[in-house]
Chains A and B, each alone.
Chain A
Amino acid sequence: MPQLTRSRTSSGIGLGTGLAIVLALLVVRVTAPEGVATALGDTLGDLITLAISVIIESLPFVFLGIVLSIAVQMWLPPDFLVRRLPKSPLFRRAVLSLTGILLPVCECGNVPLARGFISRGLTVADAMTFLLAAPILNPVTIITTYQAFGWNDGILISRILGGFLIANLVGWLFSKAPNPTQLLTRGFARACAIEAANPSTGNRLRRSVVLFAHETSAMLPALFVGSAIAGLIQVGVPRSLLIELGGNPIWSVFVLMLLAFIISICSNVDAFFVLSLGSAFSPGAVVAFLVFGPMIDIKMLAMLRTTFTTKTLAQVTLVVALATMVIGLAVNLLV
Chain B
Amino acid sequence: MYKRLADRWRGIALSLLGIVATLWLAATGQLGLYIHPRYFVFTVVAAVLTAVIVIASFAILPSTEDDSEHDHDHEDEHDFLGTDEEAALSHSHKPPALRRAGTVLWSVSTTLIVAGAFVALILLPPQSLSTGDVQASDLNTTTLSSPLSDAGPELAGSDSQSFTVADWAGVLRQGADTQYLAGKTADVIGFVTPDSEDPENVFYIARYVVSCCAVDAQPVGVPVYQPGWQDAYPAESWVQIVGGFDENIASSSTAAIVLVPDSVTMVDEPSEPYLF
A residues lining the B interface (CB < 8 Å): 7, 10-15, 17-19, 21-22, 25-26, 28-29, 32-34, 36-37, 40, 42-43, 45-46, 48-57, 59-60, 63-64, 67, 144, 147-148, 185-188, 190-191, 194, 198, 200, 206, 209-210, 212-222, 224-225, 228, 230-231, 234, 238-240, 243, 263-266, 269-270, 272-273, 275-280, 302-306
What are 18 contact pairs spanning A and B, CB under 8 A?
A: A14-B61, A18-B58, A25-B16, A29-B21, A32-B124, A32-B125, A56-B22, A56-B43, A57-B39, A60-B42, A60-B43, A148-B147, A187-B76, A220-B11, A221-B81, A225-B81, A275-B143, A275-B145
Stretch of B97-105, B208-216, B238-246 on the interface side = B208-216
Q: Which of B73, B116, B145 contacts A194 (CB 8 A)?
A: B73
Q: Which of B7, B123, B129, B214 contacts A217 (CB 8 A)?
A: B7
Stretch of B134-142, B221-229, B249-257 on the interface side = B134-142
Known: A220-B15, A275-B143. Contact between A269 and B76, CB under 8 A?
Answer: no
Q: For the complex, what is the distance from the CA of A50 to the CA of B127, rounded to whole Å?
A: 10
Q: Is the CB of B36 within 8 A of A269?
A: yes
Residues of A close to B76: CB separation below 8 A: 187, 190
B17, CB-defined interface residue at 8 Å: yes
Q: Is the CB of A217 within 8 A of B10?
A: yes
Q: For the complex, what is the distance from the CA of A103 to the CA of B125, rounded to whole Å?
A: 36
Q: Which 8 A-B pairs have the closest CB atoms?
A: A216-B11, A18-B58, A187-B78, A60-B46, A217-B11, A305-B80, A53-B214, A42-B130
Q: Is the CB of A37 within 8 A of B214?
A: no
Q: Is the CB of A191 within 8 A of B137?
A: no
Per-residue CB contact flags for chain B residues 1-34 toward chain A (1 = under 8 Å, else 0) read 0000001111110111111111011000001011
Residues of B close to A48: CB separation below 8 A: 120, 124, 127
Q: Which of B75, B117, B137 contacts A224 (CB 8 A)?
A: B117
Stretch of B47-55, B185-193, B263-271 on the interface side = B47-55
Q: Which of A33, A186, A272 contacts B212 (CB 8 A)?
A: A272
Q: Is the CB of A277 within 8 A of B143?
A: yes
Q: Is the CB of B130 within 8 A of A276?
A: no
* Interface hub of A37, A48, A57, A240 (most chain B Cβ within 10 A): A57
| Chain A-chain B contacts (Cβ-Cβ < 8 Å), number | 290
Report the nearest B residue to A302, measured CB to CB. B80
CB distance from A7 to the nearest CB of B (A): 6
B71, CB-defined interface residue at 8 Å: yes
CB distance from B169 to the nearest CB of A (A): 11
CB distance from A147 to the nearest CB of B (A): 6
Q: Which of A21, A33, A36, A276 contacts B16 (CB 8 A)?
A: A21
B residues lining the A interface (CB < 8 Å): 7-12, 14-22, 24-25, 31, 33-36, 39, 42-43, 46-47, 49-51, 53-64, 70-71, 73-81, 83-84, 87-88, 110, 113, 116-117, 120-130, 132-133, 135, 137-138, 141-147, 150, 209, 211-216, 218
Residues of A close to B142: CB separation below 8 A: 243, 276-277, 279-280
CB distance from A295 to the nearest CB of B (A): 17
Report the nearest A residue to B150, measured CB to CB. A275
Q: Is the CB of B211 within 8 A of A272?
A: yes
Residues of A close to B79: CB separation below 8 A: 217-218, 221-222, 305-306
Residues of B close to A51: CB separation below 8 A: 120
Known: A10-B62, A273-B216, A276-B146. Contact between A63 and B87, CB under 8 A?
Answer: no
Residues of A close to B74: CB separation below 8 A: 191, 194, 214
CB distance from A190 to the nearest CB of B (A): 7
Q: Is the CB of B218 within 8 A of A276?
A: yes
Q: A209-B60, A277-B143, A279-B143 are in contact. List 19 more A-B contacts (CB 8 A).
A: A14-B62, A22-B20, A36-B124, A49-B129, A57-B43, A185-B78, A187-B77, A187-B78, A191-B73, A213-B12, A218-B11, A218-B79, A221-B11, A221-B80, A234-B215, A238-B138, A240-B141, A269-B36, A269-B212
Q: Is the CB of B63 within 8 A of A60?
A: no
Residues of A close to B50: CB separation below 8 A: 60, 63
* Interface hub of B62, B75, B81, B84 (most chain A Cβ within 10 A): B84
